[in-house]
Chain A
C-alpha cells in the first residue's frame, strides 16, 4: 500500500540548533517527493521537492532534503533553526493513480517548536 510515515509527531529544538525531520514512504515506483510547511493559521507552502537527479535538494528558508532510495526516506534538514521555523511540516509523495494522474499522499505531519 502507498503510504507516508512521519515518525515524529512533535519535536522541540533550541534556536540555532540543527534540525532533522524524518519521512519514510512506501511506493512501488520512483517517487515524486515533497515537503510542505504550514505556519499557524496559514495554508501549506512548498519547501522543496524531488523528482529526479541530484538526491540532495535545496529549498526555501535554508532547508534541504536528501532522497535515499535504499531507505525509502526523504528527511528534511536545516543546519540552524530560527524561531520563525516553528510550524507544522508535512511530507508527501506524488503517486500515480488508476487514471495515471499523480495524487499526493500525505504524512500526518511533524509539529516543530523552537525554544529561544
Chain B
C-alpha cells in the first residue's frame, strides 16, 4: 500500500514569492491534515479536511495561506506571498477515521527555505 506522498521534498524561494505544496493521502483515507513543523519543534496543525470540507482551519494564517482539496483526495497548500518566517517543514498526514483513534500516517514532508 502506498503511503502519503508529498511534493516537492525541498523548495527554496525568495521572500514575497508564492509556493505550493501537494499531497496525495493513503487511498481510502477521508481525513487529510496539513501540519507545520519548525526546527526542533513538534507538528502544529494548520488545517484538517474531512473529504473536501475543511473542518478545522482555525490555525491557518488566512492572509497568506490557502489550501484546497477539491475532489476529496489530493490537496494543495499555498503560501502567497512567502515570508522569511515561513521557513519550515510542511507535513501532510492522513487517517481513515476508523475507530476515531487519532492515528495519523505522515508523508516525508516538504522543506521550505525562504531567503
Contacts and interface: CB of A to CB of B under 8 A. Distances in A.
Interface string A14-42: 00000000000000000010101000011
Interface residues of B, number: 24
Given A43-B91, A109-B42, A94 B101 contact: yes
Contacts of B109: 42-43
A104 B102 contact: yes
A104 B102 CA distance: 6
B102 A94 contact: yes
Contact of A32 (B41, B55, B91, B102): B102
A45 B106 contact: yes
B14 interface: no
Nearest to A33: B102
B103 to A, nearest CB: 6
Given A106-B42, A108-B41, A108-B42, A43 B102 contact: no
* Chain B CB within 10 Å, residue with most, of A41, A44, A92, A103: A44
B107 interface: yes
B65 interface: no
A34 B102 contact: yes
B55 A99 contact: yes
B112 to A, nearest CB: 14
B55 to A, nearest CB: 7
Contacts of A83: none
B86 interface: no
Contact of B101 (A32, A106, A107): A32
Contacts of B48: 103
A99 B55 CA distance: 10
A44 B102 contact: no
Interface of A: 32, 34, 36, 41-46, 49, 51, 90, 92, 94-95, 99-104, 106-109, 111
